[in-house]
Chain A
Amino acid sequence: METIQGDKLRGHLEEMVLSTLERGEAHGLEILHRLEEAGCGLLRLKEGSLYPALYRLEAAGAVKAAWESEPHGRRGARRRIYQLTPKGQRRLDAGRVEWRQFVRVLGGILGAPA
């Protein structure tokens, strides 16, 4: 099966990130690993694009982040640990409802019901 990447992912990345944070707090690289695991290795994200999505979610109040207390051996660079907020949970729940409708409608049109 072909990998899913680029334009097909745009517009859904933020909800996917919120979904991974539902499992618990994580830093950016861990979020990517969870996405890869959940996507069974078929997702190809440009990793640099994850952080702008996280910053938009943080500005919208859907996630909150805190710096870890020390770099843990990484040369002078600390990670930020992200957590889902109640507002983010509501946005995720709304996103899931919207996605199910999207899949149902498009599935009906394409003749590929969910």
Chain B
Amino acid sequence: MNESTLTRLKILVERAVRPVRAGTARKRKMREELLAHVVGVFEEEDARLGDERAALERTALRFGNPAEVTSRLQESVPAGDRIARFFEGRPGEAALWVPIRVACWASAWELVGVCAVLFLADWVTLLPREAMIIFGWVFLAPSVYFFGVAFLTDWIEKGVYDPAGVSRRRVALSAAGSLLFMLLFVAGAVWSAWPAGSDHLGLGALPFAGMLAACAVGLAWNLAHWNAPRRRYHEEWGRLPIEIPS
């Protein structure tokens, strides 16, 4: 089987799978399995008919109307797949949108949590100002952290997985930027204790910020590493022309 025939078989599969609203992993499974099927059918028909063009036509006939297959595939997607789709994002989009979505989701729940705890317990008038600030910061800190990870992921993805090649300078800047961001993050958490607690800041904050920076770089690296083959896969299948010529 030559490359042109394989591409035509992929187009046959993509006509049915692309319109399906489902998570990336589920659609990838559909594509691979349906492709294996149509390749098997084509080989059978080619062996029987001895003509590639006729075998391709018979394969398409046996496969059925792509719109009908799409409809059946859509019925097989469980309702819970929406959650996977929300966190995975749209096909081909940058990895930074995953932590941004997580951060937005976390922020929304944190806001609900803070409001519920403070107002239902009538604590607004009871807590001192400094405690309120620390309380609020503790709740908001995960969202701020994930927003930072989002931008770090984008820089690392571009630095390591750019088609032009690895940019060590960009990766080094990402790591340095992460450390600076975490220092500001930790400083922001303890600013209400300045200048009285400034000695503690030097001893405790720097290693803590370093640890958070290392975690952020590791998390961003893994996200970028996870997303790079995913984007290449979507680009490969997304390029296939699925419109039926009139």
Contacts and interface: CB of A to CB of B under 8 A. Distances in A.
Interface stretch (B29-37, B85-93, B145-153, B168-176): B29-37
B69 A48 contact: yes
A51 B34 contact: yes
Interface in A49-95: 49, 51-53, 55-56, 59, 71, 74-80
B97 interface: no
A47 interface: yes
Interface residues of B, number: 27
A48 B16 contact: yes
Interface in B36-94: 36-37, 39-41, 43, 62-66, 68-69, 72-73, 75-76, 78
A47 B13 CA distance: 12
B240 interface: no
A79 B65 contact: no
A78 B36 contact: yes
B65 A46 contact: yes
Nearest to A59: B78
Contacts of A75: 1, 6, 39
- Tell which of A53, A56, A75, A76 has the most Cβ of chain B within 10 Å: A75
Contacts of B64: 46-49
A46 B39 contact: no
A53 B62 CA distance: 16
B68 A46 contact: yes
A74 B16 contact: no
A30 B123 CA distance: 67
Contacts of B33: 28, 51, 77, 79-80
A42 B66 CA distance: 23
A71 B40 CA distance: 11
A29 interface: yes
B73 A52 contact: yes
B65 A29 contact: no
- Tell which of B30, B64, B65 has the most Cβ of chain A within 10 Å: B64
B34 to A, nearest CB: 6
B69 A29 contact: no
A42 B119 CA distance: 71
A55 B27 CA distance: 12
Interface of A: 27-29, 46-49, 51-53, 55-56, 59, 71, 74-80
Interface of B: 1, 6, 16, 29-30, 32-37, 39-41, 43, 62-66, 68-69, 72-73, 75-76, 78
Given A48-B69, A77-B33, 12 more contacts: A27-B36, A28-B36, A29-B41, A46-B63, A46-B65, A47-B62, A48-B16, A48-B64, A48-B72, A49-B68, A55-B73, A79-B33
State the 3 A-B residue pairs at the shortest beta-carbon distance, nearest first. A46-B64, A48-B69, A52-B72
